[in-house]
Amino acid sequence: MGPGLDERSSGGSRSPWHVTRREALLALGGAALTASTDPSRTTMAADRSRDGLVRVRVYPGRVPFPARAWYGIDDLRRDWPTPLRDALSAIEGAFDQVRAYARDRSRLENIEIRVERGAPIRFSQSSMPLSIDAVLPSLRCLLERFRDRIRTRNALTGRCCHVLLEWSPLNYRIGYGGALAPHSITGEADGSNTGDAQAVVNVGATERWDSRPVTRNMAIHEAIHTFLPDDIVASIGDAHCDHELGTAVRTDAETLEISPIATAYAGPDRIGGGTRFHGTGCCDRSRFSRHDGIDGIENWTYTTALSAATCEGVVRHLERQFEG
């Protein structure tokens, strides 16, 4: 992984991660997370006549040559440089946990969850009309372009979550990523919506501003979002939104360990409160599945282990949406 911001600013040579002061201020001033929940969704059952396979398909976006070179010669010719492979592995591990949770309780016996690689996604700048979205696309614009691409591939099945691993470290309009209605919940169909969900993970942002553990957790965070509809979340404990299904566990007097769905929400609402940027979605730390408080906390660590409440929410959604 590349050095931190201070190290890059003080070095004599220009690293492939170098940004100008203006670029850094732009990112610091506007970076935000976009929440995936929308209470206005209309739920329709997915096609239950199909088999029990539910897919999570992960697509690598374009990673610029300097960034790939930063991670080593082996990554120069790959569509899956190291950070993207680690993000994919984290998502695979998260759904392994969901399967294990369900198996231990004799649930989801007729459902198979498969995480798989999708073909690379590349967007042509020349195909975009001249506007700010051509240079600095919003999250909605990026999600729409992503959906157009998977639609042309005939990849919409009604039973799939499509996850794009994007590399836009300075695009504050995307933030760390997100999902937006009407394509924010896997299996929920609304009008012309097939029921396929989609999400973006801005791996470039987590790698540039945070760390590999944050990359892993945010990849899980955005994928899991699409399996946590509002009504199911509200039925678990005191949670009002899905971030509150997460945990923040004190491992010593100065260290808090954050689970994936709570990442970017467990700390104080300020720059550097855990992750470099705080999430802008719903959150009340008093309603977390477990939150040990932030008084005296100086160190923030991240675990890819899902909380039991998160697993329960995903399993309930899969049972309702895909079991006959």
276 — alpha (psi -120 to 50), left (phi > 0) or beta? alpha
**Whether residue 20 has pLDDT greater than 90:** no
Q: Tell me what pLDDT residue 252 has.
A: 96
pTM of the model: 0.83
Question: Which has the closest alpha carbon to 207: 310, 64, 95?
Answer: 64
Residue 30's Cβ-side half-sphere holds a number of Cα atoms within 13 Å equal to 13
pLDDT band of 324, cuts 50, 70, 90: low
* 297, two tokens: 């906390």
Mean pLDDT of 200-225: 97
Q: What digits encode the pLDDT tens for the residues 74-129? A: 767 678 999 999 999 999 999 999 999 999 999 999 999 999 999 999 886 655 55
pLDDT band at 24 (very low <50, low <70, confident <90, very high): very low
d(CA 22, CA 193): 40
For residue 192, the model assigns a pLDDT of: 67
Ordered by start, the domain boundaries in the chain are 25-236+308-322
CA–CA distance from 178 to each of 36, 42, 56, 142, 165 (Å)? Answer: 6, 20, 15, 10, 11
Higher-confidence residue of 148 and 280: namely 148
Give the model's pLDDT for residue 189: 84
10 Å CB burial of residue 296 (0-12, 13-18, 19+) is exposed
Q: Could you give the CA distance from residue 213 to residue 225 in angstroms, rounded to a whole number? A: 18
Q: How confident is the model at residue 69 (pLDDT cuts 50, 70, 90)?
A: confident
**Which stretch of 1-15, 24-38, 213-227, 251-265 has the lowest confidence by average pLDDT?**
1-15
Residue 128 near residue 105, CB atoms below 8 Å: no
Reply yes or no on whether the pLDDT at 30 is more than 70.
no
Mean pLDDT for all residues in the chain: 83
Are 298 and 231 spatial neighbours (Cβ–Cβ below 8 Å)? no
Lowest mean pLDDT among 60-74, 227-241, 283-297: 60-74
Architecture per CATH, 25-236+308-322: 3-Layer(aba) Sandwich (3.40)
pLDDT mean over 139-153: 95
